Amino acid sequence: MTTLTIGIIGAGRIGRIHADNLLRLPEVKLAAIADLFAGDELREWAAARGIDRVTTNSDEILGDPSIGAVFICSSTDTHVPLILQAAAAGKHIFCEKPVSMDIRRTREALEAVRKANVKLQIGFNRRFDHNFRRVRELIREGRIGDTHLVKITSRDPNPPHPDYIKVSGGLFMDMAIHDFDMARYLSGSEVEEVFAQGAVLVDPVFAEHGDIDTAITTLRFESGALAVIDNSRRAVYGYDQRVEAFGSAGSAAADNDYPNTAVISGADGIVRDKPLHFFLERYNEAYVEETRQFVDSIVRGLPLPVDGNDGLQAERIALAAKRSVELNRPVRLSEIE
Minimum CB–partner distance for residue 212 and a copy of itself (Å): 11
Contact status: 197 vs a copy of itself (CB under 8 A): yes
Q: Do residues 240 and 246 make contact, with C-beta atoms less than 8 angstroms apart?
A: no
Tell me the C-alpha distance between 230 and 151, whole Å: 8
Q: Do residues 88 and 62 make contact, with C-beta atoms less than 8 angstroms apart?
A: no
Contact status: 328 vs a copy of itself (CB under 8 A): yes
Closer CB to a copy of itself, 251 or 313, in the complex: 251
Minimum CB–partner distance for residue 188 and a copy of itself (Å): 15
Annotate 119-170 with DSSP letters as a single string. Answer: -EEE--GGGG-HHHHHHHHHHHTTTT-SEEEEEEEEE-SSPPPHHHHHHS-H
User: 65, 263, 301, 303: which one contacts a copy of itself (CB under 8 A)?
Assistant: 263
- Contact flags string 268-287 toward a copy of itself, x per CB under 8 A: xxxxxxxx------------
Within residues 8-37, the interface with a copy of itself by CB under 8 A covers 26
User: 138, 165, 175, 314: which one contacts a copy of itself (CB under 8 A)?
Assistant: 138
Instruction: Give the SS3 label for residue 63.
Output: coil
Q: Which residue stretch of 91-99, 146-154, 288-296, 301-309 sits at the interface with a copy of itself (rule: CB under 8 A)?
A: 146-154
Contact status: 199 vs a copy of itself (CB under 8 A): yes
How many residues line the site for a copy of itself (CB under 8 A)?
A: 67
Minimum CB–partner distance for residue 326 and a copy of itself (Å): 13
Contact status: 47 vs a copy of itself (CB under 8 A): no
Contact status: 186 vs a copy of itself (CB under 8 A): no
Tell me the C-alpha distance between 271 and 264, whole Å: 5
- Contact flags string 81-120 toward a copy of itself, x per CB under 8 A: ----------------------------------------
Tell me the C-alpha distance between 335 and 337, whole Å: 6
Q: Do residues 44 and 33 make contact, with C-beta atoms less than 8 angstroms apart?
A: no
Tell me the C-alpha distance between 190 and 132, whole Å: 18
Instruction: Give the SS3 label for residue 321.
Output: helix
Closer CB to a copy of itself, 171 or 235, in the complex: 235
- Contact flags string 220-259 toward a copy of itself, x per CB under 8 A: x---xxx-x-x-x-xxxxx-x-----x-xxxxxxxxxx-x
Closest CA to 294 of 127, 90, 64: 127
Q: What are phi and psi of 147, to 5 degrees?
A: -75, 125
Contact status: 57 vs a copy of itself (CB under 8 A): no
User: Which string of b and e fits 79-102 if b means at least 16 CB within 10 Å?
Assistant: bbebbbbbbebebbbbbbbbbbbe
* Positions in the binding site for a copy of itself (CB under 8 A): 26, 48, 130-131, 133-135, 138, 143-144, 146, 148-149, 151, 155, 195, 197, 199, 201-202, 214, 216, 218, 220, 224-226, 228, 230, 232, 234-238, 240, 246, 248-257, 259-275, 328-330
